[in-house]
Amino acid sequence: MAANGASVFAPWDDPDQTPLIRFENVTKRFGDFTAIDNLSLDIYAREFFALLGPSGCGKTTMMRMLAGFETPTEGKIYIGGQDMGPIAPNQRPVNMMFQSYALFPHLSVYENIAFGLRRDGQPKDKIEARVEDMLRMVRLQKFAKRKPHQISGGQRQRVALARSLAKEPKLLLLDEPLGALDAKLREDTQFELMDIQEKTGTTFVIVTHDQEEAMTVASRIAVMDEGRIMQVATPDRIYEFPENAYVADFIGDVNLIEGTATPSGEDEVTITWAENQQPIRAKTQRKLATGQKVFYAIRPEKVGISKEEPTDVVNKAKGRILDIAYLGNLSTYHVQMPTGEIIKAQSANTRRIARRPFTWEEEVWVSWNGTGGSVLED
């Protein structure tokens, strides 16, 4: 599976690979508002690349610059080694699937998909064959003659996808393509997208504000905030090794514990974080100064919970259960320390409700080992 960061597909680790897309110190300002701030980024051919970030962080602006609807205020964008500066949108080897789908309301599904092919002046029978292929791919053969307002939202989304793939672009841009779909359809479509991406070998850049979606589909994710990239990495690295507190907090659920670092040997640090608590011992590659303020990030599922004091783990703390969030297969326990800090611990619900071991207000121990979390600088 190329799309899911399996060991074979990792052009970003290969120094001999040239990227398909290169953002070089790109800044985009609207008036005196900076939407994209001195951003550099490489995206490789055949990647399924996700831009992830909260609303307003500049994701759409990045897409629009790639498609040619906005020009960078500073910096350069290269696609396939070519400077895109002087290239008009209709001359770029790029197609875009719009957030609003932007289907032509006066044309049928068939004509919508054929639209781009006709502009290239291809022979009629070739266009016909291609459109039929596309209709089959998105399973809309029966709807070819309908107008966009005569089909459902999910079908419209598939027409938009077929239309943007019809010209076999080198690069497909998808701006929140699944935003308007309900949860079930969304999930199905995510897998469909991955499937299509693999089959066609097209490079996909997808915009989303849904971290689960990014994790599911992407080979790599760029987490953005206020026009800057906070981290670019594979989904597992983003999740396991966030580089900063922003990414740790944005992706999934996390305990962010603030404390003071004291280096304590090779790749190891102890962090004092609360009165009367044993300092956290953690592994880290970072070179930290004694007394430096740091964050310790640990996922709730890496934190165990028990009634008795555990003996075989390096980090533990005692507290009281403040809250229990029941998530079906899992429960998240919010455990409050005597000094007020809350640590979330997750455990699988293997027993029926009546036989759960922990209840509210109970005194418990939370514990985790030295490699479970990451040490982040402020």
Partner 1 sequence: MRRFSWFNVTSLTLGFAFLYVPMLILVIYSFNDSKLVTVWAGFSTKWYGELFQNQAFLDAAWVTLRVAVMSSTIATVLGTMAAYTMVRAGRFYGRTLFSGMIYAPLVMPEVITGLSLLLLFIGIGLDRGVVTVVLAHTTFAMCYVSVVVSSRLVSFDKSLEEAALDLGCTPFQAFRLVTLPIIAPAVISGWLLAFTLSLDDLVIASFTAGPSATTLPIKIFSSVRLGVSPEINALSTIMIGIVASGVILFSLISKRNIARAEADARAAERT
Ligand X SMILES: Nc1ncnc2c1ncn2[C@@H]1O[C@H](COP(=O)(O)OP(=O)(O)O)[C@@H](O)[C@H]1O
Residues that bind ligand X (CB under 6 A): 30, 33, 35, 53, 55-61
Between 88 and 354, name the residue whose CB sits nearer to partner 1.
Answer: 88
Segment 180 to 209, residues that bind partner 1, using CB under 8 A: 180
**How far apart, in whole angstroms, are the C-alpha atoms of residue 360 and residue 176?**
40
By CB under 5 A, residue 208 contacts Mg ion: no
Among the listed residues 35, 96, 221, 282, the single contact to partner 1 using CB under 8 A = 96
Alpha-carbon distance of 23 to 55, in angstroms, equals 21
> Residue 312 corresponds to which tokens in the numbers above?
């075989």
In the complex, the smallest distance separating the C-beta of residue 92 from partner 1, rounded to whole angstroms, is 8
- Using the rule CB under 8 A, is 100 a contact of partner 1? yes
Q: How many residues bind partner 1 (CB under 8 A)?
A: 31
Residue 148 contacts partner 1 per CB under 8 A: yes
Report the residue number, 68 or 373, with the smaller CB distance to partner 1: 68
Q: Residue 42, CB half-sphere, CA atoms under 13 Å: how many?
A: 11
Q: Cα torsion at 123, 124, 125, 130 (round to 10°)?
A: 90
In three-state form (DSSP H/G/I as H, E/B as E, the rest C), the secondary structure along 259-290 is EEEEECCCCEEEEECCCCCCCEEEECCCCCCC
Distances (CA, A) of 370 to 210, 279, 313, 352: 30, 11, 8, 32
Q: Which is nearer to ligand X, 69 or 326 (CB)?
A: 69
Task: Give me the least distance between CB of 306 and partner 1, in Å please.
Answer: 49
Q: Which does 102 bind (CB under 5 to 8 A by kind): partner 1, ligand X, Mg ion, none?
A: partner 1
Decide if residue 153 touches partner 1 (CB under 8 A): yes
Instruction: Give the number of other Cβ atoms within 10 Å of residue 137's Cβ.
Output: 18
- Per-residue tokens: 207: 């915009």
Closest CB 85 distance from ligand X, rounded Å: 19
Nearest to 51 by CA among 180, 190, 173: 173
Least spacing, CB of residue 77 vs partner 1, in Å = 16
Contact yes or no for 166/135 (Cβ under 8 A): no
Q: Which does 5 bind (CB under 5 to 8 A by kind): Mg ion, ligand X, partner 1, none?
A: none
- How far is it, in rounded angstroms, from Cα 294 to Cα 373? 13
DSSP 295: E
- The answer to the question of residue 119 lying near partner 1 (CB under 8 A) is yes
The β-bridge relationship of strands 94-97 and 171-175 is parallel
Residue whose CB is less far from Mg ion, 58 or 242: 58
31 vs 265 by CB, closer to partner 1:
31
Among 11, 35, 60, 165, binds Mg ion (CB under 5 A): 60
Q: Rule CB under 8 A: which residues touch partner 1?
A: 67-69, 88-90, 94-96, 98-106, 115-116, 119-120, 148-149, 153, 156-157, 163-164, 167, 180
Q: Rule CB under 5 A: which residues touch Mg ion?
A: 60
